[in-house]
């Protein structure tokens, strides 16, 4: 089993002709509601591929919470620790202009109230899992505590340090098993430039020197670099016609988590994640672009 301890959001997507100015009202031709949040996205990807996933997260006491819980249930995710909170749910009003540029507002809402005590409350269930998956849309203290929990119980921990968070203390997360920044997160955390592949390598190696075990850097259309003790492997991306790259990173993490738990083979899991995330960028939307186990099997048969 996989425990995802992280965020959930409801995306409120308005397709606009232009942004309103201060005090102005404009009409938008279209609207869509989507399920998102990095934690939820990663959980959905892993569950669609067949993993048993337990979600530890906080939702508010509102319609958005009902929508989020129903979405987890549709995807077969265990919702015992999807905790109702006297707060608003996490929501993301998103404005997409005619050039497909996104302007996004994130309201963390209940996500900012997920605490170490919530992990303790779910301890029995989490400790039955083989992997804990974390991102940075919940309080950092909760992330640190989840890593300590994993270490204490001998459970592997994957930390996806997204969104980029300058306050993250590497000294408090270096015990994770897998650390998976993208290029900009890697640059922010190391203070090093990350443009060329040699730049990426250098920066990733400084994280190994800081005590990390597996540093996995996702590189968009360039694929993924994995460095570990005695390992330095660049796996190129699967060539595809990219339509919408939103949520590609989460597709990658969810798929990698599924396969690494199922097989224990990191290289194989990275190859599968490269294919799964590439497929997701050929389709619009976030979770709507994540293939099921059957769809994914057809792609690589």
Active-site positions? 250
Sign of CA dihedral 98, 164, 280, 243: positive
Binding flag, residue 237, ligand ADP (CB under 6 A): yes
Q: For residues 90 and 181, which CB has a smaller minimum distance to ligand ADP in the complex?
A: 181
* Measured distance between the N- and C-terminal CA atoms of the chain, rounded to whole angstroms: 26
- Phi, psi torsion values for 226, nearest 5 degrees: -115, 120
Binding flag, residue 223, ligand ADP (CB under 6 A): yes
- Phi, psi torsion values for 172, nearest 5 degrees: -95, -5
Binding flag, residue 238, ligand ADP (CB under 6 A): yes
Nearest residue by C-beta to ligand ADP?
Answer: 249
Q: For residues 3 and 281, which CB has a smaller minimum distance to ligand ADP in the complex?
A: 281
Task: Please give the Cα distance from 89 to 178 (Å, whole number).
Answer: 29
Contact range with ligand ADP by CB under 6 A, out of 69-77, 120-128, 133-141, 237-245: 237-245
Q: For residues 150 and 181, which CB has a smaller minimum distance to ligand ADP in the complex?
A: 181
CB of residue 183 vs ligand ADP: minimum separation in angstroms? 7
Interface of this chain with ligand ADP, residues 151 to 190, rule: CB under 6 A? 162, 182
Helix, strand, or coil (residue 70): helix
Max Cα distance, the chain (Å): 59
Binding flag, residue 240, ligand ADP (CB under 6 A): yes
* Helix or strand holding residue 53 (H, E): strand 53-59
Task: Please give the Cα distance from 131 to 78 (Å, whole number).
Answer: 15
Strands 131-134 and 2-5: parallel
Looking at the DSSP bridge assignments, the partners of residue 228 are 214, 231
**Residue span 243-272 as binding mask against ligand ADP, x where in contact by CB under 6 A, dash where not:** --x--xx--x--------------------
Binding flag, residue 274, ligand ADP (CB under 6 A): yes
- Applying CB under 6 A, the residues found at the interface with ligand ADP are 162, 182, 218-221, 223-224, 237-238, 240, 242, 245, 248-249, 252, 274, 277-278, 281
């Amino acid at each position: 089993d996989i425990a995802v301890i992280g965020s959930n959001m409801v995306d409120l997507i308005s397709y606009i002709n232009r942004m309103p100015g201060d005090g102005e009202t404009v009409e938008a031709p279209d609207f869509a509601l989507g399920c998102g949040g990095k934690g939820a996205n990663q959980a959905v990807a892993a569950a669609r591929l067949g993993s048993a996933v337990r979600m530890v997260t906080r939702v508010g006491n509102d319609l958005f919470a009902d929508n989020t819980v129903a979405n987890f249930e549709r995807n077969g995710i265990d919702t015992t620790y999807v905790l109702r909170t006297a707060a608003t749910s996490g929501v993301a009003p998103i404005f997409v202009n005619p050039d497909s540029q996104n302007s996004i507002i994130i309201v963390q809402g209940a996500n900012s109230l997920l605490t170490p005590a919530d992990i303790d409350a779910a301890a029995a269930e989490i400790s039955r899992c083989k992997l804990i998956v974390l991102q940075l849309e919940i309080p950092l203290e909760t992330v640190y505590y989840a890593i300590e929990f994993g270490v204490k119980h001998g459970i592997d921990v994957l930390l996806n340090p997204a969104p980029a968070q300058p306050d993250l203390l590497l000294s408090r997360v270096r015990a994770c098993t897998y650390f998976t920044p993208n290029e900009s997160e890697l640059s922010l955390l190391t203070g090093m430039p990350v443009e060329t592949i040699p730049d990426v390598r250098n920066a990733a190696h400084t994280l190994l020197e800081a005590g990390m075990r597996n540093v996995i850097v996702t590189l968009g259309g360039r694929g993924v670099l994995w460095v570990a003790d005695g390992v330095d492997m660049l796996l190129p991306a699967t060539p595809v016609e990219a339509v919408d790259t939103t949520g590609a990173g989460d597709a990658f993490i969810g798929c990698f988590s599924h396969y690494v738990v199922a097989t224990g083979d990191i290289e194989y899991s990275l190859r599968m994640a490269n294919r799964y995330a590439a497929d997701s960028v050929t389709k619009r939307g976030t979770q709507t672009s994540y293939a099921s186990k059957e769809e994914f099997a057809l792609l690589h048969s």
